Structure 1
Amino acid sequence: MKIEGIIFDWAGTTVDFGCMAPVRAFMDSFAANGVTVTEEETRKPMGMLKRDHIRTMLSMDRIGEAWKDANGSAWAEEDVEKVYSHFEPELLSTLANYSKVKPGVIETVAKLRAMGLAIGSTTGYTDVMMDIVVKAAADQGYEPDCWFSPDSTDGKGRPYPYMIFKNMMKLGLSDVRCVVKVGDTVSDIREGKAAGVWSVGIIDGSSVMGLNEDQFNALSEEEKTQKRQDVRAVFEGAGADYVIQNITELPAVVEAIQHR
C-alpha cells in the first residue's frame, strides 16, 4: 500500500522551534487570575484546542487547588472563558514573532511532494490564530495544500481524529493506512492513533523537549542525546509508530512504511 499524504502539525513541528508561542501566553493568563503555573504543567496538554488546554490545566490537582485558594471557590466552566479572555489577545499580539519555519521543513516538504505525496495539516490554534501563522509561513516558503483547525470540526480538536478526516476528504486520500500524521506533542500522537493513520513523533524543536532553538544549540552533545532519549520515551509511551529526530528523516520513514 502506497502512502498518499502527510498531515503535519504546526507549532513545534513545522514552525516555532520549541512551540514557544502559547506557553508564555498561558502562564501569563493564569497569573492574571492569581495562579502561578509552571512551564511543565503548561506543556502537558499542548496540542489541544486552547480552551480544552485551559480546562485540562484547571483539572490538574495542584492548579485546581491554587485556583480555589486564589479565587475563593473551585473553578467552574465560566473560569475557562475568564482565562481564555486573557490568553487569546496576548497570543495574537505575539504570534507572528513565533512563526519561523523550522530547519529542514521547506526542503523536506519539497522532497515529499516529489514523491507524489499531498501535504495537509492540523493544529490546536483557532482560525483567527492560523491566519497569522499561515501567512508568515507562506512568506518563508512553507505552504501545505490545506489546513484545518478545531473551528472546522465543531470545536472537537485533538485527540479527536476529525481534523485528520477533514484533510483526507479535502486531499482525496483513499485510506487511513495511506496517511502519516506528524507532530511534536502527545496530543498529536493520540490524534493520529484515534484516526487509524501512521503516527510519527518529531523530537528536535518539540514542545515535549521544550527548548527554543538557541537553548537547544547551547546544549552539549551528551545533553542533546539525553534530551532526545527522554522525548523518544514520551512519544513511544503515547503509542507513536515511529519517532524521528528531525523532519529530514521523514522521507525514509515513508519508504520504510511502504516496504512493510
Structure 2
Amino acid sequence: MIGLAVLDMAGTTVADDGLVQRAFVAAVRDVGATATDDMLDHVRRTMGESKIDVFRALLGDEERARRANAAFERAYAEHVGDCREIDGAAETIRRLRASGVRVALTTGFSELTQRQILDILGWQDLADLALTPAQAGRGRPHPDMVLTALLRLGIDDVRQVAVVGDTTSDVRAGLRAGASVVAGVLTGAHGRDELAAAGATHVLESVRELPDLLGGGRR
C-alpha cells in the first residue's frame, strides 16, 4: 500500500513558464560569464537537481557558484508571482491526503524560494511536509529528500512510497530510494522518452492522474 507521495514542485505541481532558465541566465551573467547554448543545455538536462550543484558544475569554482546561486534566487524571487498551479495539482494533493496518503513537496530550490512559491500559491498547509536539498543533505538525483520525507512522516517501508516528477533526476532519486512507484509527468522539463529511459515505472500526462494510478494502493 502506498502511504507517501513525494511530489516535485516546478514542472510537476507548479508551472513557472520558463522562469528557472531565465533566472539561470541572469545569474550566470551576474558573475561575469556568458550563458552559452551548452550551458543552457546542461541546465535543461539537470532540471530538478540542487541549483548550487548545477552552478558548481557550470562554473567550476565554489565562490562563483555561491554568488551565482544567490543571484539565481534573487532573479527567481523577482518574478515568483508568475508561478501558478499546474491544473489540478492542489486538488490532487487533497485527494491523496483524504485517502490516507501523506504528501511531501520537494524542490531543488532553497528553502526561502520554496517558501515564497508556497506563499504565492497559498499552499502553506496543503502538504504534510515541504523539503529542500539543504534540509535533507543532498539534492536530486540523490535519494536524500525522499528518504528524509519517509523518516519524518513515519513511513515504515520504502515500498510504500510513490515519487513523482518531471525530470530524469526525479526518476533517479525515486529509484535510488527504493520507491515502488516512480512516475514521470509530461508537464515539465523532460519528455516521455527521457523519463522512460531513466527508468520511470509510469509516465503520466499530469500529476492529476496519480490518485487513479494509486487507486487500490498497489502498482
Shift in Å, 1:174:
1.4
Which of 238, 243, 246 pairs up with 2:206? Answer: 246
Shift in Å, 1:164:
1.1
Q: Deviations over 1:55-103 (max 9, x none)?
A: 2334xxxxxxxxxxxxxxxx433331242242221122222322x1110
Q: Is the alpha carbon distance of 1:37 and 1:95 closer, same or farther for their aligned partners in structure 2, counting shifts above 3 Å? A: farther
Look up the equivalent residue of 2:145 and give its one-letter code.
Answer: M
Q: Deviations over 1:12-47 (max 9, x none)?
A: 1111255x2221010122234231333433211111
Within 5 A, what are the aligned runs for 1:32-181?
32=30, 33-38=32-37, 39-58=40-59, 75-98=60-83, 100-138=84-122, 143-154=126-137, 156-181=138-163
Q: How many residues align?
A: 215
Shift in Å, 1:126:
0.8
Contact 2:164 2:207 in 1 (8 A): no
SS at match of 1:147: strand
Percent of matched pairs sharing the same residue: 30
Q: Is the alpha carbon distance of 1:97 and 1:142 closer, same or farther for their aligned partners in structure 2, counting shifts above 3 Å? A: farther
* Residue 200, structure 1, aligned to residue 183, structure 2: yes
Which consecutive segments of 4 or more residues in structure 1 shift more than 3 A?
38-41
Task: Give the structure with the higher percent strand.
Answer: 2
Structure with max Cα Rg? 1
Shift in Å, 1:134:
1.4
What TM-score comes out, normalization by structure 1 length?
Answer: 0.76
Shift in Å, 1:248:
2.0
Consecutive unaligned residues of structure 1, counting only runs of 5 or more, are 59-74, 209-230
Contact 2:12 2:86 in 1 (8 A): yes
Look up the equivalent residue of 1:86 and give its one-letter code.
Answer: A
* Residue 232, structure 1, aligned to residue 192, structure 2: yes
Partners of 2:209 and 2:29 in 1: CA distance: 39
Which of 24, 29, 47 pairs up with 2:27? Answer: 29
SS at match of 2:14: coil
